[in-house]
Structure 1
């Protein structure tokens, strides 16, 4: 695998939305179809790329994963299912850690793979909710990492 990483631009938004949807639906099938592809693209175009630094991992020309973060917070980290457990997510996470002394993020309580991933990379659970404050109404966890 010849992987490369680069900072993404708004023109990459369509590929980012596709990676997000494939990975999200694979890991969280009970929430699949929550948004349409047009809604995904709009969200990434008007929210994520406006508010965050977005980096992507590529296998050749194919976007296989991305991370979106702003000062002190990871908004999104998704990797295509066939590239998970191969260091792609760790590499993307390392970029955010290099640029921040502290990071927080939210993940769903039922997303065991994400919880194991973050906990094995030094993140500590600091808050559990019943999901009443998120769009999905899914119990979640806030994690914190400090350099």
Structure 2
């Protein structure tokens, strides 16, 4: 039976993935407030790389967040500072986000899939730092032209 992690290797240590693994993704998204809470509408999602376990995902997360001005976006939910330049990002408008997800394979003989067990948003970018709907091509840059770590992993 095929699995969601079949043939995939860790982006840090290059070992084969197991049933529980982590994934780093860049996405174009819009956040909409509803009476039952915020709904994230993802219009484009690109897998950057996978990690075999918590040690490798933590290593990559530290490498990524250390390059950011403000990692782990927080705020009123509608507007947060850009993780690079600190300009306000209206989350109700399309924007680029970087997330780390903990996945568990849930494949069946007729379906290759994984369940998301946990997810953390590591960064949010304004349209000047990364263009939404171009997440595949968005490589956020610092003002001094230093590349963000996730683009190099």
TM-score by length of structure 2 reads 0.24
Which structure shows the bigger proportion of residues in strand conformation? 2
Which structure shows the bigger proportion of residues in helix conformation? 1
Q: Which has the larger radius of gyration?
A: 2
Q: Return the structure number with greater relative CO, CA threshold 8 A, min gap 6.
A: 2
